Amino acid sequence: MSFSATNQLRNTCQFPLQPVTTQMAKKRDRRVAPSSNRGKDRVESSDQSSDPKLTITLVLSFCVAAAAAVLAYRIKYAHPITNRAQSYVHQRGLVKIDVNYQEILTASTTLENAKVSENTSGRHYKYPVLAYITPWNSKGYDMAKRFNSKFTHLSPVWYDLKSQGTGLILEGRHNADMGWISELRMAGDVWVLPRVVLEAFPAELLTKKKQRSKAITLLVNECKEMGYDGIVLESWSRWAAYRILHDPSMRNLALQFIKELGDALHAVSLERNDKQRLQLVYVIGPPHSEKLQEHDFGPKDLRSLGDAVDGFSLMMYDFSGPQNPGPNAPLKWIHSTLQLLLGTDKNSALAHKIFLGINFYGNDFALSGGPGGGAVTGRDYLSLLEKHGPVMRWEKKSAEHLFFYSDDEYNNHAVFYPSLMSISMRLEEAHKWGCGVSIWEIGQGLDYFFDLL
């Protein structure tokens, strides 16, 4: 990597502490689907134009500024989440800042096939762990079976609830893999809650009692017929895109719908355990600025839904984008979001219902040759390491690893991808608050990541 390219990202690494898009769920789907499927079930985010020179002035002076502050933060808040002697990656000293690419390549081939594969049954993280699986990334299905006992909840991305004429239709049953669910249940007691994206026209759905009742009936009946343990519902970002949440009366209807759905699910006993009830996990995004906007999900909404919802999947990723390259989920952003939702009380009664989002994917940002970027999965990441042999860098303020490389056309790139250290610090942050975690998505990570869970 040339000196000029390093300076380029250093000059651009002064990131604002707000995410780059109001449609976080859409970007998340785009990051995992093949190009033909990207964003097919999402609302497009608004265009974000920027001066390229201004963009470049936004990526690593950030890196220079806060070493002392971050060190103090880590000393103050670094609480061990478990007995780390049980974690093989900790025993081997792999959870560290000064990692090099050879160690990552070696670990990905030898450790995953040896010791890590032997350590699939013990849980190191005591709070709930929800993992997403996507049908376009089959590795996730295998990881869910292999590391079954690491998870409390699994959410395959299977369903969409859509408007059809004057009615509603639930699409996605063809994605359901009942053989896979049977294997999971023979191996452990993980809850299976498929994700449902609520794509129905919100004005029709929320203002008409028959539509609301129909939607709830469709979802509850699908759980009964397919033997699911509940659902993960995603709707808030779509309602925000339709400006439903800006109207107080419509917002109340939206919250009321979620409560009614939760009550209906809780009224049904599980097929495999009549002492337990169907669960509702609700997807929420972080605020898009330091001050809550009308459409943001805030602490009042959290308290309003606290009794009706069993968990809140908080999407703490996609902080940066091609127009402002940078980290996936800065630690300070995570901390400030949890503080905004839960207040300063780290023993909040609702903290255990927050499933802090952790990304198992990364981003490859083009720093020259025009703005651009794309998702990086574990396979992509290892290929880039092997091809370019880069110097691994630790970005202190965000607490993420990155590296630079030049492609075959001599364009400079910056790659941010999770590391054992970055994941460990986020687990510690969640543990400090008493939160669970949710992972998007397990087919995109490296196998030895699971040893931390």
pLDDT 10s digits, 151-203: 999 999 999 999 999 899 999 999 999 999 999 999 889 999 999 999 999 99
Examine the pLDDT at 112 and tell me if it is beyond 70: no
Predicted confidence at residue 122, as pLDDT, reads 79
| CB-count burial class (<10 Å; 0-12, 13-18, 19+) for 47 | exposed
* Rounded-to-integer distance, Cα 156 and Cα 178, Å: 11
Asked if 369 and 5 touch (Cβ cutoff 8 Å), the reply is: no
Confidence label for 82 from pLDDT (cuts 50, 70 and 90) = very low
* pLDDT confidence bin for 247, thresholds 50/70/90: very high
CB 96 within 8 A of CB 401: no
Q: Which residues pair with 372 in a beta bridge?
A: 366
pLDDT at 446 over 60: yes
Q: Sketch the domain layout of the chain as residue ranges.
A: 125-361+421-452
Check if the beta carbon of residue 51 is closer than 8 Å to that of residue 63: no
Q: Is residue 228 pLDDT above 80, yes or no?
A: yes
pLDDT at 37 over 90: no
* pLDDT at residue 111, as a whole number: 59
For the chain, helix, strand, coil in percent to 5 are 40, 20, 40
According to DSSP, residue 85 is labeled G
pLDDT given for residue 15 in this prediction: 42
Residues 99 and 165: their CA atoms lie apart, in Å, by 56
Give yes or no for a contact between 289 and 18, defined as CB atoms under 8 angstroms apart: yes
Please provide the DSSP assignment of 224-289 as one string.
Answer: HHHT-SEEEEE-HHHHHHTTGGGSHHHHHHHHHHHHHHHHHHHTSB-SS-TTSB-EEEEEE---SS
pLDDT value at residue 161? 98
Residues in the chain: 453
How high is the pLDDT of residue 9?
56
Q: Of 111-125, 189-203, 219-233, which gets the smallest average pLDDT?
A: 111-125
What would the two tokens of residue 400 be?
């993420």
CATH homologous superfamily for 125-361+421-452? Glycosidases (3.20.20.80)
Mean pLDDT of 270-275: 86
Q: Which residues of 228-259 are buried (b: 16+ CB within 10 A; e: fewer)?
A: bbbbbbbbbbbbbbeebbeeeebbebbbebbb
pLDDT band at 108 (very low <50, low <70, confident <90, very high): confident
By CB neighbour count within 10 A (0-12 exposed, 13-18 middle, 19+ buried), where does 138 fall?
exposed
Q: What tokens were used for 135?
A: 């049908």
Torsion of CA 283, 328, 40, 377, to 10 degrees: -120
- Sign of torsion, CA 293 299 300 302? positive
